[in-house]
Amino acid sequence: MKTLLDQEQLNDGVQELADAINSQYGNTPLTIVGVLTGSVVLMADLIRKLNMPLRVGVVQTSSYQGTERGKLTINSEMMLDITERDVLLIDDIFDTGHTLQEVRALMHTLGPASLKSAVLLCKTGRQEVDWRPEFVAFDIPDEFVVGYGLDYNDQYRNLPFLACLEEADIA
């Protein structure tokens, strides 16, 4: 596999993401909701760089089998009460956009005061929805990536860098 973003680039991108979020919210209390499992590494690094009072929760989604997208399932049982709260939804990657769009739709029904989203990665040219997350650390080419929380068949999440899987890695 080839490295797309090294540790230093990832750290710089997360800092820029945090700076933008800090600028947007100031000292306003914020509820962070991470999309499991891919956002765990980003969320851990990001919340340590945020200055406002935070509540942190998660929602679990699943849609990929290997490299193929399947039916989306959402388990929100572990999510905090977000009624009348400013909420920031955190995910690892904005690919087609369907996962975040469906999670956002669910969250809107729960009555947040505001709802925005932040992602580590946005894949160029893959979006099939009419919106984009308000906060994006990196735009990347349309390649299958792993590391820094992203996986292939539940492997590679622990890599401290972001890598593109090549055909030989998938086989």
Tell me if 88 sits within 8 A of 39, measured CB to CB.
no
In the chain, what are the domains?
2-170 (3.40.50.2020)
pTM over the 0.85 mark:
yes
Task: Give the per-residue pLDDT at 68.
Answer: 54
Q: What is the pLDDT of residues 102-153, one digit of tens each?
A: 899 989 989 999 999 999 999 988 889 999 999 999 999 999 999 999 999 8
| pLDDT value at 65 more than 60 | no
- pLDDT of 73 above 80: no
Q: How far apart are CA 133 and CA 119, in angstroms?
A: 7
Q: d(Cα 53, Cα 3) in Å, to the nearest integer?
A: 35
Structure tokens belonging to residue 98: 């369907």
Rounded distance between C-alpha atoms, residue 153 and residue 133, angstroms: 26
At 154 the pLDDT is 87
What is the pLDDT confidence band of residue 99, given thresholds at 50, 70 and 90?
confident
Give catalytic status of residue 95 as yes or no. Answer: yes
Choice among 12, 95, 151, 154 that is catalytic: 95
